[in-house]
Amino acid sequence: MFQVSQKWFTAALLLGLATPAFARKKEPPPVQAATAYLSHDTHEKEHVTVAADPFDTRDKADFFRLDYNGHSILPIRVIIANDSDAPLDLNQVRIQLIASDSTKLPAATPEELNRRLFRFNDIKQKHIPGTPITYRPTPVDKKILDDDKDFSFTQTTIPPHSSANGFLFYDVRDLDDPILKGAELYTKMIHTKQNGKDTELFAFSVTFDKYLEQEKAKRDAAKAAAAKDAASKDSKDKKKDDDKDFKVDTNGNSKPQ
């Protein structure tokens, strides 16, 4: 039997404990119930809710392996809750980001993200025999594949009284700021299957106006708190400076220096 020395085991344990926190894999914020998100659309009759949570800042999306926001890629967490008694079939689902100018964006594939984030000018072109066609192979970066495996929305069936969630990525480089103002996440071609009958649900339209209002309120509150802290610090610093301008004599009387 293979035996590990106590000395080696102790050293390995200490090394593991000494591993810095940033070396550990970061996790996205815990998912909430679909109706808890400001951006959601519920079909009461079908008992189905589609919600969207945009990760539209670098701080919010810092658990991804790559800086998608810095390259005009918008990650959106999609939550689909099935509170009905029939399973949902998502094999044909289409989830588009529709901008205020009616531009329709499908979710980007890993290959499209790869082309957006990286350049491969140093990869030698290849020729297809018997044709005038040449192409430049672009292998998908491992970090994109790992993010796709760990975070993407991949579930194609949602059982009754359960939910599914995951991230979709949208290339928003050609959209005007603010990107989400007047935009919607348009979800269509969700099907239900019950008693051998296939039914397509009406489309879901998830808007972001309430989300934007909430985020603005958070930013305004943070700015107000920062201004208050700065004013308090200035007041304390001024008091210290004023105190330095006086000294106390033996009778307890303060005199200008």
pLDDT tens, position by position, 218-238 = 989 988 988 888 887 777 777
Residue 99: pLDDT over 90: yes
Say what the pLDDT of residue 5 is: 45
Question: Which pLDDT score is estimated for 235?
Answer: 72
Which of 177, 179, 126, 117 is CA-nearest to residue 147?
117
Kind plus residue range of the DSSP H or E element containing 215: helix 209-244
- Residue 121: the pLDDT is 47
pLDDT band at 256 (very low <50, low <70, confident <90, very high): low
pLDDT in the model for residue 131: 63
Diameter over CA atoms, the chain: 106
pLDDT band of residue 215 (cuts 50, 70, 90) is very high
Query: Rounded to 5 degrees, what are φ and ψ at 30?
Result: -60, 140
**How do residues 34-76 score in pLDDT, each as one tens digit?**
999 999 999 999 999 999 999 999 999 999 999 999 999 999 9
DSSP 141: P
* Residue 256, both tokens: 């200008």
Task: Report in angstroms the alpha-carbon separations of 222 from 139, 226, 227, 233.
Answer: 43, 6, 9, 16
Q: Which two tokens stand for residue 250?
A: 């033996």
pLDDT of res. 238: 72
φ and ψ at residue 165, rounded to 5 degrees = -150, 160
- In this predicted structure, what is the pLDDT of residue 24? 46
Report whether pLDDT(255) > 70: no
The span from the first CA to the last CA of the chain, in angstroms, equals 82
Q: Which of 105, 230, 125, 243 is nearest to 169 (CA)?
A: 105
Q: Does residue 226 or residue 241 have the better pLDDT? A: 226
Higher-confidence position of 176 and 248: 176
What one-letter code names the amino acid at 104? K
| Higher per-residue pLDDT: 10 or 251 | 251
Give the HSE-up count for residue 50: Cα atoms under 13 Å, Cβ half-sphere.
26
What integer pLDDT is reported at residue 115 of this predicted model? 92
Quote the CA–CA distance of 163 and 159 in Å, as a whole number. 8
105-136: pLDDT as tens digits = 999 999 999 999 986 544 455 555 666 665 55
pLDDT of residue 227: 86
- pLDDT at position 26: 83
Residue 164 has phi, psi (to 5 degrees) of -140, 150
Q: Which residue has the higher pLDDT, 122 or 169?
A: 169
Q: Is residue 15's pLDDT more than 90?
A: no
Confirm if 227 and 217 have CB atoms less than 8 A apart. Answer: no
141 within 8 A of 119, measured Cβ to Cβ: no
